[in-house]
Amino acid sequence: MDLNNAADRVLHAVRLYRAGKAPAVIASGGGFAWSESITPESHNIKTLLQEWGVPVYAIVVEAESRNTFENAVYAKRVMDEQGLKTILLVTSALHMKRALSVFRAMRIDAIPSPTDYRTVYRKKLTIRYFLPNIEAFAGTTRAVKEYTGLLYYWLQGWNR
């Protein structure tokens, strides 16, 4: 399994579980529409949760969702089935605004627990600041995707 930048979300969930902040972890995420052969994200999350010490009885797998809206829909169903009233919503800090608005629109009592903060520290302005670089382009891409998602979800009426 290849760990990418999103793996710290799983580690953050493990830390919350170990700290006694959550009695269970919902591993949420299905496949991608453009590639049905990929193992659902939630199964990889479950594997990591177990490897990092979360017992299997404390892991609930939701493997149907393909986007944030569906994450909320299926998480609500899992919460109702498990009798859970409140969740700690773990996602990247950049994505938290959209995710939290969708979960709250689904009437889920979600407490934000962001991770994966992306910050830039510059001690001194140099010529390199003005030169293009791939990290800046990737950051712009993430921001545009997130703002586009916020607009799309608002147009769909999926958030509040």
Residue spans of the domains in the chain: they are 7-156
pTM above 0.85, yes or no: no
The answer regarding whether domain 7-156 maps to CATH 3.40.50.1820 reads: no
Q: Give pLDDT tens digits for 110-132.
A: 999 999 887 666 667 777 777 77
How many contiguous H segments (helices) and E segments (strands) does the chain have? 5, 4
Question: Nearest 5 degrees, angle CA 52-CA 10-CA 149?
Answer: 170
d(CA 160, CA 102): 7
Task: Out of 10-14, 87-91, 100-104, 141-145, pick the least confident.
Answer: 141-145
d(CA 104, CA 102): 5
Q: Which helix (H) or strand (E) holds 47?
A: helix 41-51
